[in-house]
Amino acid sequence: MENTIIEVINLKKDFQVGDMTVHALKGVNLKIQKGEFVAIMGASGSGKSTMLNILGCLDKPSAGDYKLDGISVSELNKNELAELRNAKLGFVFQSYNLLSRTSALENVELPLFYNNKVTSRERKERAIAALESVGLADRMHHMPNQLSGGQQQRVAIARSLVNDPVVILADEATGNLDTRTSYEIMELFQRLNTDRGKTIVFVTHEADIARLTSRNIIFRDGWVVKEQLVEEKLLASYMLKTLPVGEHEA
Amino acid sequence: MNYINLLKIAKNALMRNKFRAFLTMLGIIIGVASVIAMLAIGQGSKKSIQDQMSSMGSNLVFIMPGSQQRGGVMMGNSSSQSLRMEDLEAIRLNCENISAVSPEVRTSGQVVFGNENWPTSIYGANTEYLGIKKFTIESGRIFTEKEISSLAKVCLVGKTIVEKIFPKGVDPIGQTIRFKNIPMKIIGILGEKGENSFGQDQDDLMIAPYTTVQRRFLAIDFIQGIYTSAVSEEKTEAAIAEMKTIMRKQHKIAKPEDDDFRVMSQSELVKTFSSISDILTTLLGAIAGISLLVGGIGIMNIMYVSVTERTREIGLRMSIGGKGRDILMQFLIESTMLSVVGGVIGILFGYLISSVVGTLMGWPVVIMTESVVVSFFVCSAIGIFFGWYPAKKAASLNPIDALRYE
Ligand SMILES: Nc1ncnc2c1ncn2[C@@H]1O[C@H](COP(=O)(O)OP(=O)(O)OP(=O)(O)O)[C@@H](O)[C@H]1O
Ligand SMILES: [Mg+2]
Predicted confidence at residue A250, as pLDDT, reads 46
B320/A91 touch (CB, cutoff 8 Å), yes or no: yes
A14, part of any domain: yes
pLDDT tens column, A56-82: 999 999 999 999 998 999 899 999 999
Q: How confident is the model at residue B56 (pLDDT cuts 50, 70, 90)?
A: confident
Task: Name the percent of chain B lying above pLDDT 70.
Answer: 95
CA A10 from chain center: how many Å?
22
Beta strands B60-65 and B68-70: pairing type? unpaired
A163/B320 touch (CB, cutoff 8 Å), yes or no: yes
Helix residue ranges, H only, B362-405: 369-395, 399-403
E strand or H helix at B98, and its extent?
A: strand B98-113
B313/A99 touch (CB, cutoff 8 Å), yes or no: yes
The domain that holds A116 is classified in CATH as 3.40.50.300
pLDDT tens column, B130-153: 999 889 999 999 999 999 999 999
CA angle, corner B351, sides to B348 and B354, nearest 5? 145
User: Does the C-beta of A77 come closer than 6 Å to ligand 1?
Assistant: no
Provide CB contacts within 8 A for A28, sequence distance 6+: A8, A10, A11, A12, A47, A51, A64, A222, A223, A224
Q: How confident is the model at residue B198 (pLDDT cuts 50, 70, 90)?
A: low
Nearest CB neighbour to A83, from listed B312, B313, B321: B321
Interchain CB contact of A14 with B (< 8 Å): no
Q: What is the DSSP letter of B142?
A: P
User: Does the C-beta of A13 come closer than 6 Å to ligand 1?
Assistant: no
Interchain CB contact of A250 with B (< 8 Å): no
Provide CB contacts within 8 A for B305, sequence distance 6+: none
Beta strands A63-68 and A4-17: pairing type? antiparallel
Please, are residues B146 and B116 in contact by the beta-carbon 8 Å criterion? no
For chain A, the residue count is 250
Residue A176: closest CA among A146, A156, A194: A156
Pick A246 or B332 by higher pLDDT: B332
Nearest CB neighbour to A78, from listed B1, B8, B324: B324
Question: What residues of A are in contact with residue B322 (Cβ under 8 Å)?
Answer: 82, 114
Please, are residues A85 and A57 in contact by the beta-carbon 8 Å criterion? yes
Residue B91: closest CA among B57, B126, B116: B126
What is the domain range of residue A80?
A: 4-205
Question: What residues of B are in contact with residue A120 (Cβ under 8 Å)?
Answer: 4
A114/B312 touch (CB, cutoff 8 Å), yes or no: no
> B291 C-alpha to center of ligand 2: Å?
48
The C-alpha atoms of residue B206 and residue B212 are separated, in whole angstroms, by 12
Taking the C-alpha atoms of A148, A151, A155 and A158 in order, what is their torsion angle to the nearest 10 degrees? 170
Number of domains in chain A: 1
Secondary structure (3-state) at A150: helix
* One-letter amino acid of A117: K
B316/A100 touch (CB, cutoff 8 Å), yes or no: no
The C-alpha atoms of residue B302 and residue B383 are separated, in whole angstroms, by 10
Predicted confidence at residue A139, as pLDDT, reads 94
* One-letter amino acid of B29: I
The C-alpha atoms of residue A231 and residue A159 are separated, in whole angstroms, by 31
Mutate to test the interface with A, among B319, B396, B400, B406 (most CBs of A within 10 A): B319
pTM score over 0.80: no
Predicted confidence at residue B397, as pLDDT, reads 85
A99, part of any domain: yes
* One-letter amino acid of A33: Q
User: Does the C-beta of A46 come closer than 6 Å to ligand 1?
Assistant: yes
The C-alpha atoms of residue B353 and residue B30 are separated, in whole angstroms, by 11
Q: Whose CA is nearest to atom 30 of ligand 1?
A: A45
Please, are residues B105 and B213 in contact by the beta-carbon 8 Å criterion? yes
Our CA-based measurement puts residue A105 at a distance from the nearest CA of chain B, in whole angstroms, of 13
B320/A100 touch (CB, cutoff 8 Å), yes or no: no
Secondary structure (3-state) at B191: coil
A115, part of any domain: yes
A102/B12 touch (CB, cutoff 8 Å), yes or no: yes
The C-alpha atoms of residue B395 and residue B389 are separated, in whole angstroms, by 10
User: Does the C-beta of A32 come closer than 6 Å to ligand 1?
Assistant: no
Task: Name the percent of chain B lying above pLDDT 90.
Answer: 39
Our CA-based measurement puts residue B320 at a distance from the nearest CA of chain A, in whole angstroms, of 5
A96, part of any domain: yes
- Which residues 328-347 on chain B approach chain A with CB closer than 8 angstroms? none
Spans of chain A below 50 pLDDT: 1, 249-250
> A55 C-alpha to center of ligand 1: Å?
15
Neighbours of ion ligand 2 (CB under 5 A): A 49
Query: Does the pLDDT of residue B244 top 70, yes or no?
Result: yes
A159, part of any domain: yes
Beta strands A20-33 and A4-17: pairing type? antiparallel
Average pLDDT over every residue of B338-346: 89
Mutate to test the interface with A, among B5, B11, B320, B323 (most CBs of A within 10 A): B320
